[in-house]
Amino acid sequence: MRYWLMKSEPSEVSIDDLASLPGQSIAWYGVRNYQARNFMRDQMRVGDMVFFYHSSCAEPGIAGIAVVDKLAYPDETQFDPAGKYFDPKATRENPRWYNVDVRFLKKTPLISISELRRHPELESMRILQKGNRLSITPVDPSEWDYINRALLG
């Protein structure tokens, strides 16, 4: 089992949005970066644990915990010519983008990025590196444990 951090803009899908969905599960659609796609397609397994991170907003930070609910499958939004995630180079026979489903587990007190930066134990987290833009990053088990114990305990 692996641990991940997945960014979502709360204006798109917030932790509250996820919690109020029927089944509390959602396709992690819209990823258009190959590295992030590969993490979903090649490495994520059902049961992997996820920090749900709010990005591009007033209070960026970890807002909740989710779990991978369904293995990666083609992202439906790449096929919709009217949608903003449409990819003209993708076909049903040869999809380019994949997503997993993620299910709500719990909301947490918001752990802001500045709070995360305050802890030397977390300084190697991808999310805290200069210039990091990846929307999906692996989280080290020791970092996962530390955050749960020291910040959410």
Partner DNA sequence: GCCAACGTTGGC
Residue linked to tokens 């990666």: 72
CA–CA gap between residue 132 and residue 126 (Å, rounded): 7
Measured from the CB atom, the residue of 16 and 59 that comes closer to DNA is 59
Which pair of tokens denotes residue 62? 């970890």
Q: Which of 124, 115, 16 is nearest to 60 (CA)?
A: 115
Compose the 115-134 pattern: x for residues touching DNA by CB under 7 A, - for all others: --x-----------xxxxxx
By CB under 7 A, what part of segment 4-33 binds DNA? 7, 9, 32-33
φ, ψ of residue 26 to 5 degrees: the values are: -145, 145
Measured from the CB atom, the residue of 12 and 149 that comes closer to DNA is 12
- How many chain residues interact with DNA (CB under 7 A)? 20
Residue linked to tokens 């951090």: 5
Which pair of tokens denotes residue 140? 């080290």
Q: How far is the CB of 5 from DNA (least distance, A)?
A: 10
From candidates 1, 46, 57, 150, binder to DNA by CB under 7 A: 57
Residues that bind DNA (CB under 7 A): 7, 9, 32-35, 55-57, 60, 113-114, 117, 129-135
